[in-house]
Structures are given as structure tokens and as C-alpha cells.
Amino acid sequence: MSNIRLFFTEILSLNLSSKLDKSQSHYLSTVMRVKVGESFSLFNKGGEWEAKINAISKGIVEFNITKKLREKENPKEIWLAFSPIKSNYFNFMIQKATELGVTKFIPIITDRTIIRKINSNRLEKIIIESSEQSNRLKIPILEKVIPLENFIKNNQKLNIIFGDLNTDNKNINTKKLSDNNPICILIGPEGDFTEEERQKILELKNIQCLKINNNILRAETAAISMISIVNFNFLS
């Protein structure tokens, strides 16, 4: 079987016969040159399955599910709330955050946010491609852009890990985290939060402030660093 993994939106089950869409068919048969009789894998949040190509008709790959490879995963819910940034850096941040296990992305608008619209279609494509590459099953969710005020109002019970330049704390106290609620990493725009915004954030119930470096970091660097710190605390 090849190492090719493709995300499939429909329910997968043993002996299922179905077809890939035009884009995936082109990638599999023309770009990767996988032939009839050869196998690849399909996945979604329900698990990962081995699929065998039965035919390639008019450029469309027809397949049959032959074996279950992995059960569905139950990862710790790690969310990333962030202020949108410039396109190239934004793409990189989403890609690496997906690889590192983020399960939900929440774009927020703050007083100092410069980029106030996102290309959801492009970002969702990056998320799917990164999930395929990094051996994930569950595709992270990309939420709609919301104001910071709405984020604070709607997420009072989250475990918030707040990237804060004004704190001296450099450790996460895992004993203070609620097992029943997701962990949400919160980072500000490149100009940081205003002091008024910061005070509102600090009023959240389950919040821990975290200083990851004495230097001022780019938003994408801060995001990747904080995700890595959270992973270290939960995987160690």
C-alpha cells in the first residue's frame, strides 16, 4: 500500500464502494501515478481505512474499502484564538498549528487587528492538506471571525492559556485545568492587546497567563511556541 492519505467527507465502512472527487482523482492517478489494483488510505474523524482502486473512468477514481487501519481518535481539545495576520505568515501558522494538534481555530478581531477578513476556503484547504500530511484523523474546525468581546462572552468555561507579555509566569499549572473543558491558547495581534482588552481577558474564570520569551515575538512564532508548550505539558 502507498503512503498516500486523503481526507474523505463521507462515512467510511468495510466493503464500501465509492468514488473520489475530480481533484483527488487527478492527484492520485495523474500526479502520484497510482494505478488500478493499488491501494491508498482514506480517513476522517471516524477512523482510517485502506482503499483499493477498482477502476479509473473518465479521470475519476473508483475504489473499494478493504481494511480498517485505525480507530477514531479522541485527542485533547486544543483551540487557538488569534488575530488574523498577513497571508503568507497566516498560512504558515495554520499549517504548523494543524500539524501540532490544534482542533479548533477561532479568529478574533481586536482594537489593533489590521487584517479583518480571512479567506476561509484557502485556510480550510491548508488545514485538510496539513492533516493528511501529519497523520491526523480529525480535521480541525475553522470558526468564523468574531470580535474579542464575543469570544470572552461565549467562552467563560474554557481553560484559557493567555500569552501575556506583562506576566512573569513561565509555567502552566496543569492541576488548575478542568478536564471537562478544552484548552484555548489566546494570542494577541502583532501590536498586542490594549490594556483595556487585557483587563477584560484577565477577568475570565479559568485563565493562566504565560510568558514564553523575554523577546517580542511575531504572532505566528508565539502561536507555534505556545502550542508546543501545551503539548509538552500534556504529553509528558
Residue 109, pLDDT score? 97
**pLDDT for res 66:** 96
**pLDDT tens column, 137-191:** 999 999 999 999 999 999 888 999 999 988 999 889 888 887 788 999 999 998 8
Instruction: Give the pLDDT confidence of 68-78 residue by residue, as tens digits.
Output: 999 887 668 99
Task: Show the domains of the chain with their CATH numbers.
Answer: 5-71 (2.40.240.20), 78-235 (3.40.1280.10)
Rounded Cα distance, 107 and 89, in Å: 14
C-alpha cell of 27?
A: 492527484
Q: Within its chain, how far is the Cα of 86 from the centroid?
A: 18
The single residue listed with the C-alpha cell 494570542 is 187
Confidence (pTM):
0.88
Tally the residues of the chain. 236
- Full strand arrangement of the beta sheet holding 5-7: 5-7, 39-44, 47-57, 60-71, 17-19
Strand partners, 67: 50
Given a cut of 60, whether residue 236 has pLDDT beyond it is no
